[in-house]
Amino acid sequence: MQTHLLSTDSEHYESSLQTASDLIKHGKIIAFPTETVYGLGASIWNEQQIKKIYQAKGRPSDNPIIAHIAKVEDVYSLAELVTDDSYKLMEIFFPGALTLVLKRKSVVPSIVSAGLDTIAVRMPNHEIALDLIQRSGSPLVAPSANTSGSPSPTTAQHVMNDLSGKISAILDGGDCGIGIESTVIDMTTSSPVILRPGSITAQMISDVLQKQVIHAGKTSSVTHSPGVKYRHYAPKARVVVLNEKERHLFRDSTQLILHPEPQNLSVETTSELEIRLLHQSTFYNELRRADALGYTTILIILPDKFEANNEGLYNRIKKSAEVNDTNP
């Protein structure tokens, strides 16, 4: 299968969006930009099309997919028992990088949720994504448009590198602004639980709801979100994370150092060592670039308080450094 790269510059926008939505309506899967990362979309009502997403990505069948809507009202066609708290969050954060896990309506195919009785819903804050969903005539289910286990794609080229020949088209919308996946929050329990941290923080949510918000990973050993148990966001290179005080553990074999203020880092660069900026919007690009250059060791140095000020990015950094043999 040839994967078409569809430009969205002003000259091609109309025909590209038309082509992309026609492909979706004909049961094909296509990648599209959002403000977080690129998604790989299928109609929520087409089970065969959704199966193609799992196949193309090599996604484990027990890992559910987020439904993307273009209008807040669409949530009511997918979920039931939408509480006042959920409504408040939608009012403030939709469209945006927040995904709500709600009770799934039985009309929604269970393959979307990998058999769970819940459904994850988000309204992306991206003109092309919203336009595509609207033209396709139904909410689109869309996981990140990468091969399962590799870093999520933040450019059309990243998608092409992973999925060329496996999907029908990619809508090229340039770089994703946020650069990491959405915050996922479970609203089906009495206290909301953050299943995956992101750029919308626990504090921001707690300020809106005026109640405590729990982080799943920090409070219990139970994995609430099936996807969390898999190794994600990982390059082929070995990633080592140290704080400033552990810098002496710095090893000669390191080929790349990532740091939030590289200009202030007092490490001698050599022809074998690069020092580059650590930033949420370019983090996945750095991991993919390191792999393309054949680097085998990446060192990430974190200043004090980095975690508190960057909960989403910190989570992805730790995940990229994890070695998990159950990775599919």
> Which residue is associated with the tokens 């070995």?
238
- Helices 13-25/127-136 angle, 10° precision: 50
Could you tell which of ligand AMP, Mg ion, none binds residue 316, using a CB distance below 5 to 8 A set by kind? Answer: none
**200 contributes a contact to ligand AMP by CB under 6 A:** no
**181 contributes a contact to ligand AMP by CB under 6 A:** yes
Query: How long is the chain?
Result: 328
Residue ranges in 256-315 that form contacts with ligand AMP under rule CB under 6 A:
none
Stretch that binds ligand AMP, among 156-164, 221-229, 251-259, 268-276 (CB under 6 A): 221-229
Give the integer Cα–Cα distance in Å for 166 and 93: 33
CA distances from 107 to 104, 110, 150, 272 (A): 8, 9, 32, 57
Please name every residue paired with 165 in a beta bridge, in sequence order, or none if there are none. Answer: none
Of 49, 99, 144, 320, which one interacts with Mg ion (CB under 5 A)?
A: 144
Give the integer Cα–Cα distance in Å for 249 and 232: 25
Helices (H), the chain: 13-25, 47-57, 75-78, 84-93, 127-136, 156-163, 202-209, 216-219, 283-292, 306-309, 311-321
Residue with Cβ nearer ligand AMP (147 or 206): 147
Of 95, 96, 143, 179, which one interacts with ligand AMP (CB under 6 A)?
A: 143
Of 97, 184, 234, 256, which one interacts with ligand AMP (CB under 6 A)?
A: 184
Of 16, 46, 63, 168, which one interacts with ligand AMP (CB under 6 A)?
A: 63
Could you tell which of Mg ion, ligand AMP, none binds residue 169, using a CB distance below 5 to 8 A set by kind? Answer: none
Q: Is residue 227 a contact partner of residue 64, using CB atoms and an 8 Å limit? A: yes
Stretch that binds Mg ion, among 39-47, 112-120, 140-148, 263-271 (CB under 5 A): 140-148
What count of Cα atoms within 13 Å lies in the side-chain half-sphere of residue 154?
22
Site track 90-129 with ligand AMP (rule: CB under 6 A), x = hit: -----------x-----------x--x-xxx---------
Of 217, 244, 220, nearest in space to 316 by CA: 217
Residue with Cβ nearer Mg ion (49 or 144): 144
Could you tell which of Mg ion, ligand AMP, none binds residue 193, using a CB distance below 5 to 8 A set by kind? Answer: none
Amino acid at 79: A
DSSP classification of residue 144: B
Name the site residues for Mg ion (rule: CB under 5 A). Answer: 144
Name the site residues for ligand AMP (rule: CB under 6 A). Answer: 63-66, 101, 113, 116, 118-120, 143-144, 181, 184, 195-196, 225-228
